[in-house]
Structures are given as C-alpha cells and as structure tokens.
C-alpha cells in the first residue's frame, strides 16, 4: 500500500499495487535455424527437432545461426555444448560423411529442447582403376600396371584361360569379357577395372588358339580319291580321242 497525505494534512489517499508473479516460462523453442549454404530437410519448423543438410565435398565448413522464438527468454542456449546468444552464427568444420550438430534451448523453468542437424558432406571417391597384379595360369605375361595389352598362345583344346588378378584399390571392381568358348585363331579377353568413382580402365589379352590340323586319314584319302579321279578323267580322254580318230579313218 502507498499512502499519500494531502497539503491540508487531512486528506489521505491510499494506493494499492498488486504484483502478480507469473510462473517461469516453460517454452523452449527456436524460431529459425539459418544456414550459410544449402537448405535444411525438412524445411525449418519450431516443433521439428531433427534435420539433414547435404553438402558437396568442396564444402569444408558451414555457418549456422540459431534464432530463439520472439518473447521467449531462455536461461541458456548452447551450440554443441558451447553457450551462445540468439542470432549468433557458429562455424562448423566438416569432415567427409556425417557431422552432427546439436542446439539446446533451455526455458526459464528448466524445460529443454534439443535440435539436431546431420550435416552430410559428400565423400570423395577413388579414381584408381589400375590392376596391382595380373597372371594367366600356365602362361607367362610380363605384367606392368601401365601396360594394357598382352599376347599368349594356347593349345587347340583350351576353351578358357584362368586369370588371377588384384586391383590396386580394394574398392575397385573387375569384370571379364571374351573368356568363354575360345575359337581357333585370335581371341581378345578384356579385363575391365571400374574404380569407385565409376571410371574404367581396360587390360587386353590376345589369346592365340592353335588352329586344329586336318585329320591325316581323311586328308590322305582325299588325295588318293583326287588322284584316282584325275587319272580316270585322263584315261577317258585318251580313249575318246582314239575312238574319234578310228572313226575318222574309217
């Protein structure tokens, strides 16, 4: 109560002031999370606490600014455990892959709400598409990782060569082409090495398969038949000539 006495010493005015103490606020919300590059997924909403932000490999760092909702006087705001003020930008260094950022808002009554952002920086993929080693079982090739063409000779009964190889990068893959049902003469076997980033390198092996020789029995028989035919034709020709000569004489 406040009592005010008038100038006449008689009049007295009494004022009553009622002070209402409100309970501590229990709301702990952000009104926005501002990022210096890209955009959050899903788009920001005060009630949504989990986000993802995908960034290219070239992004080594990003700025993030948490903003507390208007009218909310938080007792604490922390960014990855460090106290900050609303609207203060924090720079986050990024490693390739997943980087987790947490923003904790603490209301007056101690109520807490944690926002989490998964910052995903793209990985850099290897372009190593070389072979570390290459061998053909039972045959010698002078392998060198920078030599991409080889030649071997195989017997007529070989339908497939057995390859042993190892990639320079364990994340690379290998596919083999042309190593089935080898034909007589030249065959080209391809060893295609695909790097982690999708680039390809091809090693070639020219497989010279021995040409099958004709069967000797049938070869000799054919020669005999051919010779017999030639002799028969010649004999017939001589007989016909003599017959015609005799007819002309008569």
Percent of the chain with pLDDT over 90: 62
Residue 162 has a pLDDT of: 97
φ/ψ of 223, rounded to 5, equals: -65, -40
Question: In CATH, what number is assigned to the domain containing residue 205?
Answer: 2.60.40
Q: Is residue 241 part of a domain?
A: no
Kindly state whether residues 107 and 177 are assigned to the same domain. no
| Strand partners for 118 | 52, 100
Based on the fold, state whether residues 91 and 148 are members of the same structural domain: no
Structural domain contains residue 105: yes
Is 222 within a domain? no
Return the pLDDT at 23: 44
Same domain, 145 and 116: no
pTM for the full model? 0.52
What DSSP designation does 223 have? Answer: H
Low-confidence ranges of the chain (pLDDT < 50): 22-24
Residue 2 within any structural domain of the chain: no
**How many domains would you assign to the chain?**
2
Both 193 and 136 in one domain: the answer is: yes
Intra-chain end-to-end CA distance of the chain, in Å: 175
Where helices occur in the chain by DSSP H, the ranges are 216-249
* Whether residue 52 is found in the same domain as residue 95: yes
Q: Indicate whether 116 and 39 sit together in one domain.
A: yes
Question: Which of 56, 200, 197 has its CA nearest to residue 127?
Answer: 197
CA distance 224 to 217: 11
Q: Which helix or strand (DSSP H or E) is residue 30 part of?
A: strand 30-35
Domain boundary among 98, 121, 144: 121
3-state secondary structure of 231: helix
Alpha-carbon torsion 95, 96, 98, 104, what sign? positive
For 208, phi then psi, to 5°, come to: -95, 105
SS3 213: coil
Burial of 152 (0-12, 13-18, 19+ CB in 10 A): middle
Q: For the segment 140-165, what is each residue's pLDDT rounded down to a tens digit? A: 999 999 999 999 999 999 999 999 99
| Predicted local confidence at residue 239, as pLDDT | 56
Joined together, the tokens standing for residue 179 give 């190593």
Could you list the residue range(s) of the whole structural domain that residue 162 is in? 131-209
Answer yes or no: do 104 and 39 share one domain.
yes
Does the residue 139 lie in any domain? yes
pLDDT of residue 51: 98
Does 224 fall in a domain?
A: no
Q: Is residue 13, in this structure, part of any structural domain at all?
A: no
The reply to whether 15 falls in a domain is no
Query: Do 114 and 135 belong together in one domain?
Result: no
> What is the model's pLDDT at position 22?
47
> Are 44 and 94 members of one domain?
yes
Q: What is the pLDDT of residue 222?
A: 62
């Amino acid at each position: 109560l406040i009592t005010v006495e008038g100038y006449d010493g008689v009049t007295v005015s009494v004022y009553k002031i009622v002070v209402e103490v409100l309970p501590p606020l229990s709301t702990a919300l952000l009104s926005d999370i501002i990022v210096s590059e890209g955009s959050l997924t899903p788009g920001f909403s005060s009630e949504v606490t989990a986000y993802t932000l995908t960034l290219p490999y070239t992004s080594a760092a990003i700025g993030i600014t948490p903003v507390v909702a208007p009218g909310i006087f938080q007792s604490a705001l922390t960014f990855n455990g460090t106290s900050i003020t609303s609207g203060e930008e924090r720079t986050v260094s990024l490693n390739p892959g997943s980087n987790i950022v947490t923003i904790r808002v603490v209301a007056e009554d101690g109520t807490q709400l944690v926002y989490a952002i998964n910052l995903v920086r793209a990985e850099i993929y290897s372009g190593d598409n070389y072979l570390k080693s290459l061998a053909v079982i039972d045959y010698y090739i002078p392998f060198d990782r920078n030599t991409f063409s080889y030649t071997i000779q195989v017997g007529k009964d070989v339908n497939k060569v057995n390859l042993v190889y190892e990639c320079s990068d364990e994340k690379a893959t290998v596919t083999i082409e042309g190593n089935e049902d080898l034909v007589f003469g030249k065959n080209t076997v391809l060893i295609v090495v695909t790097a982690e980033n999708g680039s390809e390198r091809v090693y070639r092996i020219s497989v010279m398969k021995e040409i099958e020789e004709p069967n000797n029995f049938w070869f000799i028989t054919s020669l005999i038949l051919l010779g017999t035919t030639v002799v028969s034709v010649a004999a017939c020709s001589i007989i016909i000539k003599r017959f015609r000569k005799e007819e002309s004489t008569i």
